[in-house]
Amino acid sequence: MALLEIKDLEVRYGRIKAVEEISVDVDASEIVVLIGANGAGKTTTMRAVSGLLAARTGSITFKGEDVTRLKGHQRVRKGISLVPEGRGIFPGMTVRENLDMGTYALQGKNPESEYDRVFELFPRLKEREKQMGGTMSGGEQQMLAIGRALMANPEVLLLDEPSMGLAPQFIRQIFAIIREINAQGTTVLLVEQNANQALAIADRACVLEAGRLTKTGTGRELLEDSTIRDVYLGG
Amino acid sequence: MSSDWISFDFGALIDSFWATTFDGLTLGAIYALVALGYTLVYGVLNLINFAHSEVFIAGAFAVVFFLSALGFGPSAPTLPIGMLILDLVLAGIIAMVVSGGTAVLVERIAYKPLRNRGASRLAFLISAIGMSFVLQYIFYEWRGATAEPAVTMFRPKPIFEVFGSIIDSQQLTIFIAAVVMMVCVDQIVQRTKLGRGIRAVAQDPDTATLMGVNKERIIVATFAIGGFLAGAAALFYVMRVPSGVFYMGGFILGIKAFTAAVLGGIGNVRGALLGGLLVGLIGNYGATILGDSQWTDVVIFIVLILVLMIRPNGILGSNLGEARV
């Protein structure tokens, strides 16, 4: 049984279908990547899995439990954390306060080990502990967003375009850290436009086009697929 | 046509400057308590809850009814100080419960159904104004147009003299109690888990949800806190203006409190305190210079318009999101 099962997911905005018939299984300790162009439905899928958007039909099962009807704030308690597109840093909170927000869902548990883990992955966050989230650079904000999501100690970490708008050295660093997080035992579902680097770290990958899955395979298979190379990997 | 309908008497302000100041700060503290309700709700929902003025007056009605039932009337009662304090604290608690309950009821009736449907901001605004009128005219049908009989809580006694002006027990009670409450709210917002939830929803509602914040619960709590503060303000309002409780009373005070919230920076908790005190002072100075308390509102609203023109984000700026509150 997969850790996270998305089955026949359909999401609409009003009468417009954003995604339909999306089925993805994510096994424990895998990295699964969704690639696709702008508007293909990647973000919609992630928001539906994390509970920010309601599924119209289909189901989302996590650890064998149907979570389709759970609200977003309940899903994080189950162990699903999303790092949203655009990072979602609280601009008027310090780095430390942003990280504290990550522990909001932990009830009564001492998160000290989580702070240690996050500061080890992102030493820069420790240096910037008292800085306001809104005044950080894009790369630092992305680190903070990932660190904050890890504070809830999720079993599956959803990442929505973590490389968006970042300088190349930051992008490399972010992908290295995603690998590291995965190596530490956290399952990852990653959405990316930056297909090259995403597929390189993927155990399995799917291609989304106009709201539907058109291709699935291992990361290597898709990297070597000629049509995908033409469309997503710049030939 | 009479030519002396308006005259400026700066001498009057100079003569009574400190007395005018102390009274302005007292009124300002009441405005600030009500302003906090506007500001907190604006912070989490980006909505001006125009029915907040009626949330406030509901508490004021509760104070009058409760104290009348205890035998309070137009002249100050002769009670031992301990009994008096007990009665006033009870009246305050009842007002806070009534106002808090009204605020939550307004949220459930006027805003939640719209939120569930994903309505436009205009729909919320119209619903807010409509709810304000509905409550106002319920009070009107129930109690008529005339003010409730005055309830005097105690006769203000001079406490000490500053710059040759007396500060009395009533001014001191209102100012200290109001400021203590506002400091408490500020600390709740800054330091508690509930406060973190409120700030998170104000700054980024979707991300707050992703952190495990139950947005609906935060919204209800925010309305309740705003209502509690309005209820406390209602007690002090009746203390200061014993015969000011009638169906329109909330509207008149509420719009000044709204001005205070905008002046300080809507969505900003400390801004509400600053704005409230400033509105109290400006209104009082204006009325003294112009020689008639009817001018108070004119002066206050001229200030509101000037603020909106020159500094639309208010003195301390912007909202819970950008300002650090």
Chain B contact for A178 (CB, 8 A cutoff): no
Task: Give the minimum alpha-carbon distance from A41 to chain B in angstroms, rounded to a whole number.
Answer: 18
Q: Judge: B324–A101 Cβ closer than 8 Å, yes or no.
A: no
The verdict on residue B232 lying in a domain is yes
Q: What is the ipTM of this complex?
A: 0.94
Structural domain that includes position A46: 26-51+80-232
Task: Give the minimum alpha-carbon distance from A72 to chain B in angstroms, rounded to a whole number.
Answer: 6
The verdict on residue A130 lying in a domain is yes
The verdict on residue A67 lying in a domain is no
- Where do runs of H (alpha helix) occur along chain B? 10-15, 17-45, 52-69, 81-106, 112-116, 121-143, 169-191, 193-203, 205-210, 215-240, 249-264, 269-290, 295-310
Task: Give the minimum alpha-carbon distance from A225 to chain B in angstroms, rounded to a whole number.
Answer: 35
Residues written for chain B? 325
Domain count, chain A: 1
The verdict on residue B214 lying in a domain is yes
Taking only residues 181 to 220 of chain B, the set having a beta carbon closer than 8 angstroms to any beta carbon of chain A reads 193, 196-197, 199-200, 203-204, 206-215
Cα–Cα distances (Å) from B184 to A79, A217, B235, B269, in that order, read 35, 57, 18, 11
Q: Residues B248-295: pLDDT tens digits?
A: 999 989 999 999 999 998 888 889 999 999 999 999 999 888 887 788
Chain A contact for B117 (CB, 8 A cutoff): no
**CATH code of the domain covering residue A179:** 3.40.50.300
The verdict on residue B322 lying in a domain is no
Q: Judge: A93–B209 Cβ closer than 8 Å, yes or no.
A: no
Phi, psi for A59 (deg, rounded to 5): -145, 155
The verdict on residue B241 lying in a domain is yes
Contacting residues for A48 by C-beta, under 8 A, at least 6 apart: A9, A11, A19, A54, A55, A60
Structural domain that includes position B219: 32-250
Q: How far apart are CA B98 and CA B37, in angstroms?
A: 15
Answer yes or no: are the C-beta atoms of B33 and B264 closer than 8 Å: no
pLDDT in tens, chain A (235 residues): 799 999 999 999 988 999 999 999 999 999 999 999 888 999 999 999 999 999 999 999 999 999 999 999 999 999 999 999 999 999 999 999 999 999 998 876 667 888 999 999 999 999 999 999 999 999 999 999 999 999 999 999 999 999 998 998 889 999 999 999 999 999 999 999 888 899 999 999 999 999 999 999 999 999 888 888 888 776 5
What residue of A is the nearest CA neighbor of B195?
A101
The verdict on residue A132 lying in a domain is yes
What residue of B is the nearest CA neighbor of A53?
B206
Q: How far apart are CA B141 and CA B246, in angstroms?
A: 11
The verdict on residue B128 lying in a domain is yes
Answer yes or no: are the C-beta atoms of A187 and A28 closer than 8 Å: yes
The verdict on residue A31 lying in a domain is yes
Tell which of B115, B198, B211 to mutate to test the A interface (max A CBs under 10 Å). Answer: B211
Q: Residue range B143-158: average pLDDT?
A: 89
Domain count, chain B: 1
